[in-house]
Amino acid sequence: MSQPEQTQIYLITPSSFEPSVFGDQLAAVLDRVEIACVRLDLASQDAEQIARAADHLRPICHQRDIALVISRHFRLVERLGLDGCHLPDGARQVREVRKALGPEAILGSYCAASRHAGLSAGEAGADYISFGPLGDSGLGDGTLADRELFQWWSEMIELPVVAEGGLSAEIIAELSPVTDFLAIGAEIWGQDDPAAALSELLRAL
């Protein structure tokens, strides 16, 4: 993912969903709000369940020219026709996964609130770095990434940076000048109308 001129939205799926039902919700969001990338983020380790979900979401995303990446399961990227992989453990696997996926695949790395981990992941071949959480979230150990980290990164490092975990309208307003992507998922999927919830959340932009 290249560094955008203005902050873009990176959408994260729920950890569990019925593909046909969620597919309709996702399509409604993608048709209402401009989305740069979608991450399939299932908790399941069942390859058949993951494949069913990917097969349902892939055409929804690709028909709209939106990349679909998967969390963790890099060995399924080529088989499922996905655009890349998001790794949750900093720089640990980046070099191995980059070699496996090749230079064209999108490869992201979640680095909690660690500047060092972010730099190491970038050097190992990540296309973007994700820091978080920013607010109340089940992400990581609960240690918050602060605005100073994003400001330093945006000023010093060319690699795109993603903010994720517990985003509110207030946090979005504060971070949008210093982050390339805002990763949003749990913030909207529990709402009756996720597309409307996302639009409301992004009014600060």
Predicted local distance difference test score (pLDDT) of residue 137: 85
Q: How far is the first Cα of the chain from the last one, in angstroms, to the nearest whole number?
A: 20
Question: pLDDT by residue (tens digit) across 145-198?
Answer: 999 999 999 999 999 999 999 999 999 999 999 999 999 999 999 999 999 999
pLDDT of residue 3: 67
Residue 90: per-residue pLDDT: 93
64: Cα within 13 Å, side-chain hemisphere: 20
Band the pLDDT of 139: cuts 50, 70, 90.
confident
59-85 tens-digit pLDDT? 999 999 999 999 999 999 999 999 999
Residue 193: Cβ within 10 Å count = 14
Q: Which domains does the chain have, with CATH numbers?
A: 8-195 (3.20.20.70)
Residue 71, strand partner residues:
86
Amino acid 2: pLDDT:
65
Q: Which two tokens stand for residue 90?
A: 């900093």
Count Cβ atoms below 10 Å from residue 3 Cβ, excluding itself.
Answer: 14
For residue 107, give every residue at least 6 positions away whose Cβ sits within 8 Å of its Cβ, in sequence order, or none.
84, 85, 87, 94, 97, 98, 101, 125, 126, 127
Please name the residues in contact with 99: beta carbons below 8 A apart, sequence gap of 6 or more: none
